[in-house]
Each structure stands twice: as structure tokens, then as C-alpha cells.
């Protein structure tokens, strides 16, 4: 299986920078793992939006889009579970 490229939306990068280093140490390995398997066990497709997925990392959610034709995983948001599904 080919490896995907990970890209970040500007807003997702800013959200990641605002998180504590402890949370980032837990979230970042999950994001890197998406390059090998963009739809890992436990990921869910978000309802009501096209082509958005989420993976849980403790109390945080990584929301991302998979572009299979381009082999890209685009990270859209990295948020606490209470705010994760309030996408614009």
C-alpha cells in the first residue's frame, strides 16, 4: 500500500500549536500513522459532510480528508471532543 502525504490546513496547524506539548506528543503519532493507513481501525466517517473522517486520540479528535487520487491526507482540525464537530 503506498504511503500518503500528510498536509495541514492553516487552521489545523494553529490549533495544533495551541495544544500543550503533552497532548501534541499523543496526537502527532496518530497523525503520522494516517500516512500509512488513512482509514485505521476505529476511524469514523463524519455524517452530513462529504469525505471527512475522524480519529480519536483521548479527549481530542483529528478531523481529516482523504484524497485517494492524490495520495494525500489533509488534516482539517485537531480539537477537543467538545469542539471537534463544530466545523465551519
Name the pTM for this structure: 0.91
Q: Could you report the per-residue pLDDT of 57-82, keeping only the tens digit for each?
A: 999 999 999 999 999 999 999 999 99
The confidence score (pLDDT) of residue 84 equals 84
Instruction: Give all domains of the chain, ordered by start, each with its CATH number.
Output: 5-80 (3.30.2310.20)
Q: Could you report the per-residue pLDDT of 1-42, keeping only the tens digit for each?
A: 789 999 999 999 999 999 999 999 999 999 999 999 999 999
Q: Give the burial class of 73: count Cβ atoms within 10 A of its Cβ; 0-12 exposed, 13-18 middle, 19 or more buried.
A: buried
Amino acid at each position: 500500500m503506498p504511503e500518503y502525504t500528510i498536509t495541514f490546513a492553516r487552521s489545523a496547524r494553529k490549533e495544533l500549536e495551541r495544544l500543550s506539548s503533552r497532548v501534541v506528543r499523543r496526537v502527532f503519532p496518530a497523525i503520522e500513522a494516517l500516512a500509512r493507513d488513512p482509514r485505521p481501525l476505529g476511524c469514523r466517517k463524519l455524517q452530513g459532510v462529504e469525505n471527512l473522517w475522524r480519529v480519536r486520540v483521548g479527549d481530542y479528535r483529528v478531523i481529516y480528508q482523504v484524497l485517494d487520487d492524490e495520495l494525500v491526507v489533509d488534516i482539517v482540525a485537531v480539537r477537543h471532543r467538545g469542539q471537534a464537530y463544530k466545523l465551519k
